[in-house]
């Protein structure tokens, strides 16, 4: 007898809501975990804090290595089994963290979590939506990022509460229960099987023209990969070192925390605006707006303009739009067929950049200080604006 999932196809709204909640849990169980748990783990185990924090970097390296294979698997079979594997891997990795008797076992658990991150965070989920809805996935991707924007807002306080109640090992077991008892069944029983992707179509003539262009544009893919990777490096470095940079510029810790908290709402606000206006423009303009906002934020921070809240507001809006451009621009440029495979290829350098950026930031802060680090970030952001404009020029030519 056929299962309900094979006879009743869930509505688009149901799929987006289900994936949105599981994304919050996936990010909270992996990427955002060390921010709260690192210090309690160090106090309890006396393991070196840098090695505890490096678990995430090691996990990101593993996620980068598996991402091309994840993209190919989603292209062939859809995302249901792949995302289910991600929940299983993150859940088992959390169990490994909770039971780790020593540092090598702790790092080994992060290797397992890294596989789950590569198979279940934004890139894999975007690829799944592209496989399900073709070019119509653009609005679904935008909606999904609204959920993702609340991951730290939800999971940082939740992690802090759990640590105070059940300790860091108990917290890991609770997140394991979320993954194995909630996310895994959601993927298996709510997410539909992929259907054949329709031929690329679009309401935008310029998008359709690009989508129907030959796929052999290696230069276009490489340029897209470079600008996505540079954006990932900037955001990863800032997410780790923002408070340090602000304090080095004379901002008190409490004020720095308050200012840093503006980044999250700025992301969500920008994504909300994009959701309402996306139908009126090509995703290349979302990309240009993203890198421009980040550049304004970095340049004004470096220049020492007193309105730090405005600088961080621009920066937050930029990285919020970047998440959308990351999923929608490849779909617009190259069409729905092969989209999942392409997302897997594009994810690899970006994830490697996220893994190494905190180390690069620490080195820059040590050698050239906060002002020099901001200057380097401002230059990188300005370069990314030039790359995005170059990309737009290439799209216009095609």
pLDDT digit string, tens, across residues 149-174: 778 778 888 888 999 999 999 999 99
Q: What are phi and psi of 336, to 5 degrees?
A: -80, -35
Report the percentage of the chain scoring pLDDT > 90: 40
With b meaning 16 or more CB within 10 Å and e meaning fewer, what string describes 315-338? Answer: bbbbbbbbbbbbbbbbbbbbbbbb
Contacts of 268 (CB under 8 A, 6+ apart): 146, 149, 150, 320
Report the percentage of the chain scoring pLDDT > 70: 92
Angle, to 10 degrees, between the axis of helix 253-260 and the axis of helix 218-248? 150
Residue 129 tokens read as 């939506």
**pLDDT band at 199, cuts 50/70/90?**
very low
Does 4-189 match 205-397 in CATH topology? yes
**pLDDT band at 201, cuts 50/70/90?**
very low
In the chain, what are the domain boundaries?
Answer: 4-189, 205-397
Task: Evaluate whether 136 touches 356 at the Cβ level (below 8 Å).
Answer: no
HEC readout, 89-141: HHHHHHHHHHHCCCHHHHHHHHHHHHHHHHHHCHHHHHHHHHHHHHHHHHHHH
User: Which CATH homologous superfamily contains domain 4-189?
Assistant: MFS general substrate transporter like domains (1.20.1250.20)
**pLDDT band at 6, cuts 50/70/90?**
very low
Would you say domain 205-397 falls under CATH 1.20.1250.20? yes
**pLDDT band at 231, cuts 50/70/90?**
very high
* Span 252-298, pLDDT tens digits: 777 777 777 778 788 888 988 988 888 888 899 999 999 999 999 99
């Amino acid at each position: 007898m056929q299962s309900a999932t094979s006879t009743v196809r869930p509505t688009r709204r149901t799929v987006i809501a289900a994936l949105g909640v599981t994304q919050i849990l996936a990010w909270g169980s992996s990427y955002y975990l060390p921010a709260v748990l690192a210090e309690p783990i160090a106090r309890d185990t006396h393991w070196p804090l840098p090695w505890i924090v490096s678990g995430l970097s090691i996990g990101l390296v593993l996620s980068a290595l598996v991402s091309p294979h994840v993209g190919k698997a989603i292209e062939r079979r859809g995302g249901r089994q792949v995302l289910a594997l991600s929940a299983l891997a993150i859940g088992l990795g959390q169990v490994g963290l909770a039971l780790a008797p020593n540092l090598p076992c702790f790092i080994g658990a992060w290797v397992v979590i890294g596989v789950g991150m590569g198979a279940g965070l934004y890139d894999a989920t975007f690829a799944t939506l592209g496989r399900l809805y073709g070019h119509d996935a653009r609005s679904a991707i935008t909606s999904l990022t609204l959920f993702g924007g609340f991951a730290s807002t939800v999971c940082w306080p939740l992690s802090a509460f759990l640590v105070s109640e059940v300790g860091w090992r108990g917290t890991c077991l609770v997140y394991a229960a979320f993954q194995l008892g909630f996310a895994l069944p959601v993927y298996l029983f709510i997410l539909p099987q992929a259907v054949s992707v329709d031929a690329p179509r679009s309401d935008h003539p310029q998008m359709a023209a690009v989508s129907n262009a030959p796929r052999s544009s290696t230069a276009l893919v490489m340029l897209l990969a470079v600008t996505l990777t540079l954006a990932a490096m900037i955001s990863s470095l800032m997410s780790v070192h923002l408070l340090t940079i602000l304090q080095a510029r004379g901002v008190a810790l409490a004020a720095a925390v308050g200012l840093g908290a503006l980044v999250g709402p700025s992301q969500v606000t920008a994504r909300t605006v994009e959701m309402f206006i996306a139908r009126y423009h090509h995703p290349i303009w979302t990309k240009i707006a993203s890198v421009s906002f980040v550049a304004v934020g970095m340049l004004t921070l470096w220049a020492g303009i007193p309105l730090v809240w405005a600088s961080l507001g621009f920066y937050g809006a930029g990285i919020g739009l970047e998440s959308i451009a990351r999923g929608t621009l490849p779909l617009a440029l190259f069409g729905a067929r092969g989209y999942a495979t392409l997302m897997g290829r594009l994810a690899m350098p970006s994830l490697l950049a996220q893994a190494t950026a905190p180390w690069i930031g620490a080195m820059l802060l040590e050698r050239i200080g906060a002002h020099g680090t901001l200057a380097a970030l401002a230059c990188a952001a300005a370069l990314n604006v030039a790359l995005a404009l170059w990309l737009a020029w290439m799209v216009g030519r095609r």
